[in-house]
Amino acid sequence: MRKTCADFKKHYICKSFQARRIWERPVLSILIKKMTAGRLPKKKLDDYPIYLGSDLGVFCHNGSTKFRIWAPVAQMVNLHLYERGNGGNKLASFEMKQGNGGTWFFHYDGNLSGYYYTFQALINHQWKSEVPDPYAIAVGVNGDRGMIVDMSLLNPPGWENDSGPVFGSFNEMVLWEVHMRDFSIHVSSGSKYPGKYLAFTERGTRSPEGYSTGIDHLLELGVTHVHLLPVFDFFTVDEQRLDVPQYNWGYDPKNFNVPEGSYATDPYDGRVRIQEFKQMIKALHDAGLGVIMDVVYNHMYDAVSSPFEQLVPGYYFRQWPDGSLSNGSGCGNEIASERPMVQKFIVDSVKFWAKEYHFDGFRFDLMGLLDSETMNLIRHELSLINPGILIYGEGWVAGDSPLTPNRRATKDNLRQLDGIAVFSDEIRDGIRGNAFHNGAPGFMAGNPDSRESVKFGVVAATKHPQVRYQQVNYFKSPYSDSPLKTISYVTCHDNPVLWDIVNSTCPHCSESQKLDIQKFANAIVLTSQGIPFLHAGEEIVRTKFGEHNSYNLPDEINQLIWSNKSRYYDVFRFYSKLIGLRKNHPAFRMTSVAQIQKHLSFLDQDNPLIVGFLLANHANGDRWKKILVFYNAAEREVKVNLPEECWRVVAYKNEINENGVNGVPYKDCFEQNIMLPSRSVMILVDKQSVEN
């Protein structure tokens, strides 16, 4: 309901429900005095005051509304109120007061929930643009104005008891990465909410062929966590034109603490996206699935127009000595995580998502652009909330950065990071080949030079005496001091999907042979140490038609076509059984370097297209005493010798049976040698263990 000017008690300038500009006030002499009061930007950023309070942002609760922002170089700051998230005239303007630690605050004795707001700072005698504050937790359409909300009123029923699944160790998780829109936008998903948060709340959805889709598909597959590509408010999708086809991965941040509006059923009312976002998370938790948020704290889409720059120019973004913005992100700017108030914002933001939205993990985009101290502080703070929250990220940068290499949260410095994992591009490209060189084969397509990189991945980038590190593709030494700090994967949203890589690296292969490789690649991932990570749709043979970078390409390229499940059900079934095997056997999930060195030994193989290793002596408490794993990347069968034992086959080509695979060419006991089928994984177990 529209309020009159009289409803706003103090500091307002009002005419016909419109706020006059501050400089129209009759007390112009007071304004001029304030403008020249000497609060000009300090030359040294290190001299800026630090605010340690927990009340930055906008809080509406128990009949009062409080605003506080950090703007230490501002001469004045005004708060503007609107009835709408876009368009319309100002309802009122308020002059904020200076607080401690470089902050400005305003307290309103009344509930302003439902109104929209912006802040505007006077800096160096110039009024900056109106912006929501960096800590905004709700916004209007396209995120240009903040929204005042009482978060406690936006929870779905049962939210107070909501929580994700609990695991004893991070490598018990199996991660499945998906873009919000890809998940349900195609008609074959059977969703009533295509491309929306609510698609993750539906159960019983089916493809036209009658196969499970959506959440039911994930449960049937056996993954434990859904990794959502960015779902914070991002820049490049116009939420006012959702009837026009638009697509973006979302690695272009606008408001870090707000859900993206294009995935909500109503992007105009800032409360709707919050409610539906929480409904999504609760539905996934109710199904027993964890939820991981892809976060992008290393840069913003537009640094200049951002609330950071408009409120504290020059502080939040790194610069070179000449004053130009550095570009270690490859996106035009990079956030200066090492500065105290930037670090505070990032830590506060991650904690907000963990506490308010109950996330079970965070994946950090270009984590190497964040400093190790900040990442360790995030780990510490999240562990106080929930020690089971998983943290992982890209342990590299995209370009040169003023942040010195020894301070970066990269693979090189992984031993300095406590309880934080990185992606292993060694096993990734060891298996698939370098995706930046189209057609360059990896181990899966028969490249004999990739074997040591695969072995490096098998031991999760840790130290092992049988890995020849000088032959590993990128890192020439073990950088991980724990298998729990390594993400094993072969594909993700970046670069071509697995099926397209298979087609480019093995063009002469038949479809049957290509499908063998499709299974083989992730069979290596799921039988390696570390934390396994799968790209959505690999289990139903998705294609992006050869596109290497589909970040802004249409649904026709990116969408999951659920009808593929019926066509490639044998691939799905193989993935599902392999995940089940991994879950059932802790030998594939050892938790320390000492365990791996004690229980895992590689078998000598003359053929460079064969990797074989033994998991011995009930590794990690496994009920199986001895497990033999072979990877055969050759295009034909290969005979290998077996350690002295009576071995039962439990995984052969496309079949997995923990009691033993039956039928020709299998037999009850292999003792001296065995023929490995082409392009596949074979797993054998000592017969006594299987029968017991």
**DSSP of 343-411, one letter per residue?**
HHHHHHHHHHHHHHH--SEEEETTGGGSBHHHHHHHHHHHHHH-TT-EEEE--S-SS--SS-GGGB-SG
The rounded distance, in Å, linking the Cα atoms of 647 and 686 is: 5
Which of the residue ranges 4-13, 194-203, 210-219 would you say has the lowest mean pLDDT? 4-13
Please report, in angstroms and rounded to a whole number, the separation of the first and last CA atoms in the chain. 72
Q: What is the CATH number of the domain that holds 621?
A: 2.60.40.1180
Same structural domain, 176 and 257? yes
Same structural domain, 451 and 569? yes
Tens digit of each residue's pLDDT (9 = 90 or more) over 405-426: 999 999 999 999 999 999 999 9
Residue 161 lies in a domain: no
Q: How many CA atoms lie within 13 A of 518 on its CB side?
A: 28
Tens digit of each residue's pLDDT (9 = 90 or more) over 149-167: 999 999 999 999 999 999 9
Beta bridge partners of 410: none
**10 pLDDT above the threshold of 90:** no
**Secondary structure (DSSP) of 241-277:** -TTS-------SEEEEEEE-STTSS-SSSHHHHHHHH
Residue 164 lies in a domain: no
Report the chain's mean pLDDT, rounded to a whole number: 92
Q: Determine phi and psi for 260, rounding to 5 degrees.
A: -65, 135
Q: Which pLDDT score is estimated for 665?
A: 60
Q: pTM here?
A: 0.93
Tens digit of each residue's pLDDT (9 = 90 or more) over 118-127: 999 999 999 9
Number of domains comprising the chain: 3
Residue 508 lies in a domain: no
Same structural domain, 550 and 630? no
Same structural domain, 27 and 58? yes
What's the 3-state SS for 472-489? Answer: CCCCCCCCCCCHHHEEEC
**Contact predicate 554/181, CB 8 Å:** no
Among residues 147, 57, 131, 477, which one has the least CA distance to residue 313?
131
Q: Which residue has the higher pLDDT, 16 or 444?
A: 444
The rounded distance, in Å, linking the Cα atoms of 557 and 571 is: 21
**18 pLDDT above the threshold of 80:** no
Q: Percent of the chain scored above 90 by pLDDT?
A: 89
Rounded to the nearest angstrom, the gap between the alpha carbon of residue 315 and the centroid of all alpha carbons in its chain is 26
The rounded distance, in Å, linking the Cα atoms of 338 and 391 is: 19
The rounded distance, in Å, linking the Cα atoms of 336 and 316 is: 5
Same structural domain, 43 and 101? yes
Same structural domain, 574 and 628? no
Residue 163 lies in a domain: no
Q: Please give the structure tokens belonging to residue 576.
A: 């599902």
Residue 454 lies in a domain: yes
Same structural domain, 370 and 263? yes
Same structural domain, 561 and 613? no
Q: Which pLDDT score is estimated for 46?
A: 87
**548 pLDDT above the threshold of 50:** yes
Q: How many residues does the chain have?
A: 692
Among residues 385, 389, 392, which one has the least CA distance to residue 360?
389
Q: Please give the structure tokens belonging to residue 13.
A: 């300038």
Same structural domain, 302 and 419? yes
Which of the residue ranges 10-19, 262-271, 340-349, 610-619 would you say has the lowest mean pLDDT? 10-19
**263 pLDDT above the threshold of 70:** yes
**23 pLDDT above the threshold of 60:** no
Residue 434 lies in a domain: no
Residue 592 lies in a domain: no
Residue 477 lies in a domain: yes
Same structural domain, 380 and 317? yes
The rounded distance, in Å, linking the Cα atoms of 124 and 42 is: 11
**Contact predicate 144/132, CB 8 Å:** yes
Same structural domain, 395 and 253? yes
pLDDT band at 394 (very low <50, low <70, confident <90, very high): very high
The boundaries of the domain holding residue 140 are 5-153
Residue reference for tokens 């300095």: 416
Same structural domain, 387 and 419? yes
Tens digit of each residue's pLDDT (9 = 90 or more) over 450-499: 999 999 999 999 999 999 999 999 999 999 999 999 999 999 999 999 99
Query: Which residues are catalytically annotated?
Result: 365, 394
pLDDT band at 17 (very low <50, low <70, confident <90, very high): very low
**Contact predicate 65/108, CB 8 Å:** yes
Among residues 639, 577, 614, which one has the least CA distance to residue 689?
614
Beta bridge partners of 58: 67
Work out the average pLDDT over 641-666: 87
Q: How many CA atoms lie within 13 A of 285 on its CB side?
A: 22
Please state whether the peptide bond connecting residue 665 to the residue before it is cis, i.e. omega within 30 degrees of 0. yes
Q: What is the CATH number of the domain that holds 542?
A: 3.20.20.80
**622 pLDDT above the threshold of 90:** yes
pLDDT band at 691 (very low <50, low <70, confident <90, very high): confident
The rounded distance, in Å, linking the Cα atoms of 420 and 394 is: 11
Q: What is the CATH number of the domain that holds 46?
A: 2.60.40.10
Dihedral over Cα of 262, 267, 272, 274: its sign: positive
> Using N-to-C axis directions, what is the helix angle for 569-584 and 511-526, rounded to 10°?
20
Burial class (CB in 10 A: 0-12, 13-18, 19+), 138: buried
Question: What's at 611, amino acid-wise?
Answer: V
Cα diameter, the chain:
98
pLDDT band at 21 (very low <50, low <70, confident <90, very high): very low
Q: Which pLDDT score is estimated for 427?
A: 97
Q: Percent of the chain scored above 70 by pLDDT?
A: 93
Please identify, among 587, 608, 633, the residue that sits at the C-terminal boundary of a domain: 587
**Contact predicate 558/550, CB 8 Å:** yes
Work out the average pLDDT over 109-137: 97
